[in-house]
Amino acid sequence: MAADDVAHAGLNLGITDPGAHEKAEADIFGFWVFLMSDAVIFALLFATYGVMLPATAGGPRPADVYEIGPTFAETLILLTSSFTYGMASVAMKHRAARRTVLAWLGVTLLLGLGFLALELNDFRTMIAHGAVPMRSGFLSAFFGLVPLHGLHVACGCLWLVVMAVQVAAYGFDTRVKINLLRLGLFWHFLDIVWIAIFSLVYLQGLIR
């Protein structure tokens, strides 16, 4: 990759696959535009949550229903999944065997499913204690924000399955590589959003 080449945001394939790298510049930029539109949606939901936080209507307050243990475990799991996906991306860049990339994708998928299982259990516990979306403005805002992130993780898990099938069937052609780069940006974006949720929703809620 020459010094004057444009380095797109994300994993740059560079000299390992110049053709795919050149094709990825425009495709990855377009995907960044999509992610920024998604970020705007989350920003609006964060703003709504902040406004509605005091609106408990005499019902449960954040400190009454949030549990730091499970959410901290979810954070560690999701951050670890970002690392394992990064390992899959690096293995793909350096032309490792398909089974190596598939193994890292499989670990990432298991971590993503583990995150979803813990999160669903959190929601079940909250609902069992009467913390349902209809109870107050605070809970409506919470269930508008946090489960939307979970839905994104579920879509990411489905995408991981699709990419595993593509890698197994087609190897690492240009289209598969670019799709893996897109999924990497999406997965890491979900990590960033979750860190914001953990910090601004759960940690802040526990100290109020």
Residue pair 92/101 in contact by the 8 Å Cβ criterion: yes
Q: What is the pLDDT of residue 2?
A: 44
Query: How many domains are contained in the chain?
Result: 1
pLDDT per residue as tens digits for the range 29-72: 778 888 999 999 999 999 999 999 999 888 889 988 998 999 99
Residue 99 burial (CB count, 10 A): 12
Evaluate whether residue 185 is within a structural domain. Answer: yes
CATH number for the domain harbouring residue 86: 1.20.120.80
Evaluate whether residue 105 is within a structural domain. Answer: yes
Q: Is the pLDDT of residue 182 over 70?
A: yes
Residue pair 190/149 in contact by the 8 Å Cβ criterion: yes
What are the Cα distances from residue 50, in Å, to 65, 132, 175? 17, 18, 41
Q: What is the pLDDT of residue 16?
A: 53
Grade residue 208 by pLDDT with cuts at 50, 70 and 90.
low
Grade residue 94 by pLDDT with cuts at 50, 70 and 90.
confident
What are the Cα distances from residue 101, in Å, to 14, 154, 160, 203? 19, 20, 11, 35
Q: What is the pLDDT of residue 171?
A: 83
Evaluate whether residue 10 is within a structural domain. Answer: no
Determine the Cα angle at 61 with ends 39 and 130, to 5°.
95
Q: Which of 88, 54, 51 is closest to 184 using CA atoms?
A: 88
**191: containing domain:** 77-208
Across 131-154, average pLDDT: 95
Q: What is the pLDDT of residue 74?
A: 97
What distance, in Å, lies between the first and last C-alpha atoms of the chain?
A: 52
Alpha-carbon gap, residue 187 to 124, rounded angstroms? 25
Q: What is the pLDDT of residue 48?
A: 96
Q: Which of 13, 58, 28, 69 is closest to 189 using CA atoms?
A: 28
Q: Is the pLDDT of residue 18 over 60?
A: no
Across 12-24, average pLDDT: 54
Q: What is the pLDDT of residue 92?
A: 81
Q: Is the pLDDT of residue 170 over 50?
A: yes
